[in-house]
Amino acid sequence: MDPLASLGLGLLALVAALINGAVGYGFSSIVTPIAILWYSNKVLNPALVIVEVAVNSTLLFRERRYIRQTWARARPLVSTLFPGVLLGTIGLAYLAVNDVKVIVYATLLPLVLFQLVGFYRPLKNERRGGMAIGPGIGFLYALTTISGPPLALFLRNQGMSKNEFRCTIAQIRVAESSLTLATYFVFSTLFGSNLITLPSLSLLPILVIPVLIGIPVGTLLLRAVSPEFFRRFVMSVDAILVSYGLSRVLVSLKWVSNEVAYLAFAAAFAVIAGLSWFSLRAVNQTTEPPGELEPPEPPARWTPGEPAGPS
């Protein structure tokens, strides 16, 4: 195992854990675009999925008070995950490594940019929308371990409080990570796909230790800054990382020359930097966006014998 790659993965996992603890998602969408420059998805995905089963279960336990009131919103998506998980596992097992990388970057970049510019458009029929995107979410997660950005884009538009949002996304991610891990295990055991191997398991200590440190610290971190400002800043950095990764994999596939790839990345960097500047300036650091508003305080109850208003 390359010591520099291990160190880089550990630092990357720490940053991703801080972000995941703060906003409730983002671990794999931060780790994967960079880590697949060092490791193949077949090696990286199983380790990330094992870690995310534990991380998402912990986040769900933290928001367990809201399970009853949010399960009806999570259920349509959870119930339709499996067909996508199955197809994504087949793709991971049999697609070429660089083909998977192109899918990772090409899918992630527009989703990150939507969140960067603060795109909001609530769906009128949330149940039907959840059932429609469920297979796609399952496919993306099993193939790339990335589902946070599309899930967040869907759920943050639906008028939830912070805790309801975190609980709902945790329920979905516990389901998708558990289903994916089980499917990886079946494919490795019955079909010899080698998805759960010693190289994958050897990454677990590098990922687990930063998670144990980063998740609690990230939870405290968000109290000191505007959640929307923090989220958009993270998305701007993520967009730059994804653009760089896409430029590198296009060179690996020999679709473009090294010079063209660097020029394309420089242009993408300039566009993303400009969008980030205007987006971050537009954020009112004292106001949450739609879908993340704290529920209003209930009105004080009047007790007989007390004055009905200020004296």
pTM over 0.85: no
Q: Which two tokens stand for residue 189?
A: 């055991």
Confidence (pLDDT) at 226 = 65
Confidence (pLDDT) at 225 = 62
Residue 296: its H or E element:
none
CB 302 within 8 A of CB 168: no
Closest residue by Cα to residue 141 from 232, 222, 242, 25: 25
Closest residue by Cα to residue 32 from 136, 23, 46: 46
For every one of its 311 residues, what pLDDT tens digit does the chain have, with 9 covering 90 and above?
677 778 888 898 888 888 877 776 778 878 888 888 888 888 899 999 999 898 888 888 888 899 998 898 889 999 999 999 999 999 888 887 788 888 878 877 887 787 777 766 666 777 887 888 889 899 989 988 888 778 877 777 666 777 888 888 889 999 999 999 999 999 998 888 888 888 899 999 999 898 888 888 877 776 666 666 777 777 787 788 888 888 888 888 888 888 898 898 899 889 888 888 887 777 654 444 444 444 444 444 444 444 434 33
Torsion of CA 293, 216, 218, 36, to 10 degrees: -120
The sign of the torsion formed by the CA atoms of 63, 67, 69, 72 equals positive
61, with CB counted inside 10 A (0-12, 13-18, 19+), is exposed
Confidence (pLDDT) at 32 = 83
CA–CA dist 216, 213 (Å, integer): 6
Distances (CA, A) of 23 to 146, 156, 162: 15, 12, 9
Locate all alpha helices (DSSP H) within the chain, ordered by sequence. Answer: 3-23, 27-35, 41-62, 67-78, 81-94, 97-116, 126-144, 148-155, 162-190, 198-201, 204-221, 227-252, 258-282
Domain ranges of the chain: 3-223
Confidence (pLDDT) at 161 = 75
